[in-house]
Amino acid sequence: MQRYFCKEKENDIFTLSSEDSYHITKVMRYNIGTNIEIVYDNTLYIANIINLSGLVKAQVIKIVDENINSYFVTIAQSLVKEQKMDYILQKGTELGASCFIPLDVTNSIVKLNGKENKKIERWRKVVKEASEQSKRLDIPIVTNILSIDDLVKEKYDLKILCSVNETSKNIKTVLSNIKQSDRILFVIGPEGGFTDQEEQKLKNNDFISTSLGSRVLRTETASTFVLSIINYIFMR
């Protein structure tokens, strides 16, 4: 059953967005009477389509008891090319990331050229679609693009700098005492890595330099790796 996120509900009637209405009528070609899943305010409903003219409307049949993630993990991802960024957002969403912070650093090969708002709009669409596909009850936050100076002001219980530095602590050690209530931030560098100055600024602001193992991972692999570990630790 297809899942949609909805922001409009009056009594027991949902009104879907124009984008989702188009998907229902033109892509899925659903008929009146078709049941769909709707997430509203982090709650899952089964609803029956009652209107296909203009914006699609659906009526609540029942509420489904389903739990939302009980941990909050943010991925601060240095900017990479569009295809790789899409992959990071999609897989990160599937693996339970709560928030993504796009990070503009010295060695980012992507040039913004005044298109920041368009990129953020696209990324938010990517995580919405990935949330529907992976049957989440929430959509990860995608923040505005930050710099290192902005990032060091963020408040988290545990701030982890993913590093290839041989003196870095092992990720198994760093995560050995985490709790589900901890807010955790992972910072992942670009393909060219952070500059020494950027890495030092992060470490000077309580980021723990952490090794992901003996192999050097591509930037688009690192977030999948760390989120898989978090999923394993908190697996119910």
Is residue 20 pLDDT above 60, yes or no? yes
Cβ neighbour number for residue 13 with a 10 Å cutoff: 14
Is residue 66 pLDDT above 90, yes or no? no
Taken in order 208, 212, 216, 221, the sign of the CA dihedral is: negative
End-to-end CA distance of the chain: 25
pTM of this prediction? 0.91
Is residue 30 pLDDT above 80, yes or no? yes
Nearest to 78 by CA among 211, 190, 156: 190
CATH fold of 3-64:
Ribosomal Protein L25; Chain P (2.40.240)
Q: How far apart are CA 145 and CA 74, in angstroms?
A: 14
- Mean pLDDT value of segment 114-123: 91
Domain 72-233 has CATH 3.40.1280.10: yes
- Cβ neighbors of 134 (< 8 A, separation 6 or more) are 93, 94
Q: How far apart are CA 197 and CA 149, in angstroms?
A: 12
pLDDT at res. 236: 57
Nearest to 62 by CA among 41, 48, 46: 46
Name the band, by pLDDT with cuts 50, 70 and 90, for residue 165. Answer: confident
Both tokens assigned to 143: 């923040």
Q: What is the pLDDT of residues 176-203, one digit of tens each?
A: 989 989 999 999 998 888 999 999 999 9
What are the residue ranges spanned by the domains of the chain?
3-64, 72-233
Same fold, 3-64 and 72-233: no
What is the gyration radius of the CA atoms in the chain, in angstroms?
20
Is residue 209 pLDDT above 60, yes or no? yes
Q: What is the pLDDT of residues 131-152, one digit of tens each?
A: 999 999 999 999 999 999 999 9
